[in-house]
A and B are shown apart, each in its own frame.
Chain A
């Protein structure tokens, strides 16, 4: 049976393939999708967002490289958390909005998306791949914990998708 999860459900975003299908046609399909993703990444605007995010991650790592970097006992950015955050960014759909990146005082890496007033998502990535997140959609708030495994946790991907779509709809109504 051929399967591919390269297109995130409902999103239209193109994400790295997570398919484990073995057949020749499945491999071919995965290859086509991966080529399309790489092609998109080469485009100026998409690549710029990805590179900006990686640049911010490096900057945050540099700023939070010593014990007490915030003046109040903050731990340096954990090297495993840094690697996990990089993996998270690399796994992001190439057309998704990229976050602002900073260091948490406990050594985690923080990713923040702010779409419009009352529509935001904040994710902290830890050394074990733990992703603590909190989101806001108007008056509705939610939070949770999930783990990076072979890609962005589904709860976070869905939250991001919903926020992006709602913000786009709100913008088009104006």
Chain B
């Protein structure tokens, strides 16, 4: 199974949010997901995550910058190409996202069971 290309499309501010997970255990990674993403409205279940080597972002001419905001280990993926024609911009972003999703250096990781974030 591969992560969907759509999972990498950045929000309108063109900064894709992620978490710097180097050195964290599996359990700790899922805990970060549960306490950050899981607090957003409607996000009550975590089904999977995508692990991406920073080099893979660099290969796509993007930059992964750890900024620790709004939470410790938060990382922003920047450098998405800006094009005046928004249609062309979307097309280019999709090509980048597809390349990320199909890269052998990107892994889809599933938890043992979907993680409910509204349970303690």
Contacts and interface: CB of A to CB of B under 8 A. Distances in A.
Interface of A: 62-63, 65-66, 68-75, 100, 102-106, 108, 110, 112, 114, 117-118, 120, 122, 124, 126, 130, 132-136, 141-145
Nearest to A66: B41
Contacts, number: 110
A69 B98 contact: no
B11 A133 contact: no
Nearest to A128: B87
A143 B94 contact: yes
Given A105-B10, A120-B5, A144 B17 contact: no
B102 A69 contact: no
Interface residues of B, number: 32
11 contacts: A66-B42, A71-B39, A71-B40, A72-B17, A73-B13, A104-B6, A105-B10, A132-B91, A135-B98, A136-B98, A143-B94
Closest 6 CB pairs of A and B: A110-B6, A71-B40, A122-B5, A134-B94, A105-B11, A143-B95
B41 to A, nearest CB: 6
Contact of A73 (B2, B5, B11, B92): B11
B5 A69 contact: no
B12 A73 contact: yes
Contacts of B90: 106, 108, 124, 126, 130, 132, 145
Given A120-B102, A132-B87, A143-B95, A112 B12 contact: no
Nearest to A99: B4
Contacts of B39: 71
B87 A110 contact: no
B98 A122 contact: yes
A105 B12 contact: yes
A133 B6 contact: no
Contacts of B7: 102
Contacts of A103: 6
B43 interface: yes
Given A120-B101, A122-B6, A124-B6, A134 B95 contact: yes
A71 B9 contact: no
A63 B42 contact: yes
B87 A145 contact: yes
Contacts of A114: 2, 4, 101-102
Contacts of A63: 42
Given A66-B41, A75-B12, A145 B88 contact: yes
Contact of B97 (A66, A108, A134, A145): A134
